[in-house]
Structure 1
Amino acid sequence: MYDHRRLGRELGLFDTDPLMGAGLPYWLPDGATVRHELEEYVRELERAAGYRHVYSPVLGKRELYEISGHWSHYSDDMFPPMKLGSEEVVLRPSLCPHHALIYRSRSRSYRELPLRIAELGGMYRSELSGVLGGLTRVRAIQLNDAHIFCTLDQAVEEARTALTLITRAYADLGIRASRHRLSLPGEGGKYVADPALWRRATAMLKEVLDTSGVTYESAEGEAAFYGPKIDVQIADAAGREATLSTVQIDFHQPERFDLHYIGADGAKHRPVMVHRSVIGSVERAVAHLVEEHGGAFPAWLAPVQLVVLPVSEAQEGRAYDLLRLAQLQGLRAELAAPDQGSLGARIRAARLVPYQAVIGEREAADDLVAVRLRDGRRIEPLSPAELLHRVAARVEARGTVLWADA
């Protein structure tokens, strides 16, 4: 059982400082590498699925969140407004109002729909100190978010496709969902008062889950203030459950922002807004990956992918040649020189590195490399070119498979 708060610091992934404040961790080089690879993976996955990426500011006028409904339904979780001349600006608690403005920035035709807008963007939550912990509950969040603007008859398929995208990402990352939850409204004034809206959106999300063949449970009081959602739940090392990924169907914000498109009949029509997040917040995703893999990340995510180990100083020249070739191929490679300890000690120190390339006297004479895999397997000696080709192929393929025969 692993705790990402302890292991993440031991591995040099992230840390905190009282002068930065609670819930505001900083990323160290190895953690920044994991984060960067994760973000690039999601961007590529989304591009291949027809998403267009945007950037939007982390600030907005208070009026923006009054229109979206965040101010009346969510202000307890927002940071206080800041005075800017005669105006008040707010650190955004969500990206969806900004994307609604991007959609309505010009006239839209039904021919453009579905329009899929994605962003890896910052947002901020005024979390109480007592609930903050490591990377799982933070105040500054980097969110993998997207909003699909579509016609009513496209919404179910778009939501279903988003759920499929989440399943694909979990397979590549080695993440196991603990369960799927249909999150519904509860009692009280937290939720938008529009029963017809809730009935329609809930029926559509049930159709998504049923046709996807996903087992799910309904939970009252877990919906967003503007609509129901599908939550993909994960469990941490202590068995505590959290939401990582979501899919939502929203009729509320298109109405609030007066969004429309011109239909085939030449008239204005209201789009549906599908919210979805494949990996949720980058912080929570990395926290879960640390715990799920114990720091032994899939090869494509690992901070160091290949370590080169010359047995003695006599093989250091060959080792440096292999290191340079690996780095030229874009692999994250390091050299563990003999002055860093015995070969056994260096192998143990690199136990989380997916691939270990050992060069002894025999390998150097034959221009070969002895290969050890992180899982304990030993591969027949290979030429440097063949080793790098095999490793690069596994990294490029992503996924969790460590080695594949040629």
Structure 2
Amino acid sequence: MAGEVSMIGSVILALFLAGYLGQQYLPPPKPRVIGLDLGTTFCSVGVFHPGSGQVEVIADEEGRKSIPSAVSFTLTEVLAGHQAADLADSNPQNTIYDAKRFIGKKFDPDALEQESARYPFKVINNNGSAEFEISTNHTFTVSPEFIGSRLLLKMRKMAELQLGVPVQKAVISVPAEFDERQRNYTVRAANLAGLEILRVINEPTAAAMAYGLHKVDVFNVLVVDLGGGTLDVSLLNKQGGMFLTRAMAGNNKLGGQDFTQRLLQYTTERVRQEFGSTPFLKEDVQRLRQAVEAAKLNLTIHPSATVRVPLHLHSAEQTDSPKRSPVLFQAVITRQLFEELNEDLFQKILAPVKTVLAEGHLEKEDVDEIVLVGGSTRIPRIRKLISDFFGKEPNTSVDPDLAVVTGVAIQAGIMGGSWPLQVSAIEIPNRHLRKTNFS
């Protein structure tokens, strides 16, 4: 009997030794499950690497770690990401963005008409569901989940190119407010891209995982997610590895695009004052918008930024005349000016924060962690607004642009059984939860 026990012990020891030597000297297996963040404005894909335990957010061919959530239809091809976004001004009626706002959602005719009024492309009502009308060499309609599938397919190919192996399984994030139908249609979009979804995880929970909060002793977590087009504030209760979303509020018409638009309006007026006319050519408008966007990003780091753009300045009455020689528009934009132009918009961020605290029956002092998600939370004035309100600094240890995809990639590693093992975040469904929306 003792000999049998000794033999079993030897076998177990040999297995542990083989596993240790394998980890030390053999290349780790490639990740087979990817994490997907299908955002309203931008989307990203990440993987959890077995062995090292590192999360890699996969870049495109130009080294960019997120791609615009845009799809453009031309006479010959369907483009997704940056290539599609570049056509937004020259091919506006056939370049679809913000499709996530429509996916799986039921609309009454008036609500859909109001929602679609802000877009240059045509949105039609198909028995309460939104579809987009495309006119190339013929006219046809596509669904929001088809648009999503083209973005997910592009990210799948990015992952396969980087990893060198086929990818067929994924974990995907969705807003906490998504109902069962919206979640199912998001999964359907992934299926159209040839992906099997192993788990759907709420974006605030994914962000909390990126910050490591699923492994530490915190209870009340406030997630402020301010991206390009929407603001979402979520209050999470966490016990052990379980997350319950207690309250949600937000503004689906507030984000980085609005801050850029204020700056664009200001610079357009400066052009009119200096040269007597405003940019009319699509190319000029696009160049000015890109320069303003770049200035906005620079102002998160520097106290001032310069907008420098060559413009042709055709007016509507001069469209048939020969092109003028370009003029050079230059303007120095200070952070103080940017903040003054947007101060009323920045103040709107606090309304949903106060609402989730009230609905969660919490005081400001009861919040253990404030987590920032979305590129717009990099803006210094916004960070100061939040820290002043709570009397403490928010957690900024994770890139806010990549917080959700990082958390989803960790969950993808868990679903793929990757080593080192992670604590899985378990979400407790809150069937009675409703999002309070400000606009």
Q: TM-score band, normalised by the shorter chain?
A: under 0.3
Q: So what's the TM-score if we normalise by structure 1?
A: 0.23
- The two structures have a TM-score, normalised by structure 2, of 0.21
